[in-house]
Each structure stands twice: as C-alpha cells, then as structure tokens.
Amino acid sequence: MFSPKRVLVLAPHTDDAELGCGGTMARWIDEGAEMFTAVFSIAETSLPPGSPRDRLKSECNEALDQIGVPTENRFIYNYPVRELGYHRQEVLEHMVGLSSEVRPDVILTPSGADLHQDHNVVFQESLRAFRHLTIMGYELPWNHITFSTHAFVVLSEDHLLRKWKALMKYDSQIELQRPYFRYEAIEAMARVRGMQVRSVYAEAYEMIRIRL
Ligand SMILES: [Zn+2]
C-alpha cells in the first residue's frame, strides 16, 4: 500500500491545492499523514473590485481549516501573480528550506503539462528541490492540453465534500464566477476519474518520480 507519512503540497496560488488535490489531502490526513501546504502567491490582483488585498489569504486559511491542514503546517508567501518567473530563485530557495524543515516523503505539485506560467515555475523548481522524492502532478484540466492519468487516489463522498466545502470558502473566486468553482464541475471530474478505476470518486495524478 502507498501510504505517505509527510506530504507537502505546492500551490502556485491560493486555491490550486484544494482544486487539484483537496480530496487526496483530506483522505491522507484521515489516514494519519502529516499534511503541509506551501502557497507562493496570494494573487492580490485577482480579486473583485474593493476587496482587501489579502482576501485570498484569509479565504485560503479557511479552506485549509476545512481540509484539516494544521495552521503551523501552512507556508503562505506573497509573490505577484503571473510573475513567479521573475522570482524563480526565491521560489527554489523556499522549497529547499521546506525540504529540510518539513522532511516530506511525497510532493504534490502542478502537472508538467500545466500551461499556466506560474504553475510551470512551481513544477520546474519542485523537480530541482525534491527530485530525490516521490513527486505527483495534480490535475487542473482548464490549464492542460494533455494530462497523463498515471495514478488515481480513490475518494469517499466525505473526502469530496470536504474538498467542496474548502472551495466554498473562496467567496472572491465564486463572485468572479470562475467556472471551476461549481459543484457540478468538481463532482463530475471526480466521478470521471473514479469511473476510470472502477470507483465512485477519485483524483488523478501524473507520476513524475516514485521512491518507494
Ligand atoms: Zn493557480
């Protein structure tokens, strides 16, 4: 059985972790894993007009409360959205620091097929920092042309509901009518991935590196 003990989720922006792997985080926490999350941008300019600049940071903390990530296991940095490419070295240095501080055995990172510029930076730097570990790429279908479904984490209805309750904390993104902040979309994705492995719900991963 593959059962990680210490998991570090790398999120370019607030909400990427919950969207890509929120169900898996809930499941592995239930199974006793210590869960850590690093967010590199709180996307201060991706907000409805008049919002406090740190609105997404507050929403992210509420979302991680829902999933069950302890407060002390959250690392939230504030690089400008779409400009992580200009801060590549700082991003790498944070990851190298997290490697010794967190001592993870599994890394969840954006997929190598993710076309968003910030997601691509986090993917590439995560390979540099964590290439000695198991690395799994999570799925954000609106950012991919292709995605290889190498691995699946089967979810219960409770895991899926915790993912959805976490996403519901992102009022700012719901106000902006992001199409992926809809229960139908989240449920349908989990159902399709579940169907591929003869379960009801699942999240799919690209396996980038495996260390067993
Ligand atoms: Zn993102």
Sign of the dihedral defined by the CA atoms of residues 55, 165, 66, 119, in that order? negative
How close is the Cα of 42 to the center of ligand 1, in Å? 10
Average pLDDT over residues 169-182: 93
How close is the Cα of 1 to the center of ligand 1, in Å? 31
pLDDT score at 2: 83
Compute, in degrees rounded to 10, the torsion defined by CA atoms 31, 23, 124, 185.
170
Q: How far apart are CA 46 and CA 56, in angstroms?
A: 9
Q: How far apart are CA 150 and CA 207, in angstroms?
A: 6
pLDDT score at 3: 86
Q: Where residue 51 falls among pLDDT bands split at 50, 70, 90?
A: very high
How close is the Cα of 85 to the center of ligand 1, in Å? 13
Q: Where residue 107 falls among pLDDT bands split at 50, 70, 90?
A: very high
Tell me the CATH number of domain 6-209, given options 3.40.50.720, 3.30.2320.80, 3.40.50.11540, 3.40.50.10320. 3.40.50.10320
Average model confidence (pLDDT) across the chain: 97
How close is the Cα of 122 to the center of ligand 1, in Å? 10
Average pLDDT over residues 194-201: 98
Which residues contact residue 120 at a Cβ distance below 8 angstroms, ignoring those fewer than 6 apart?
110, 114
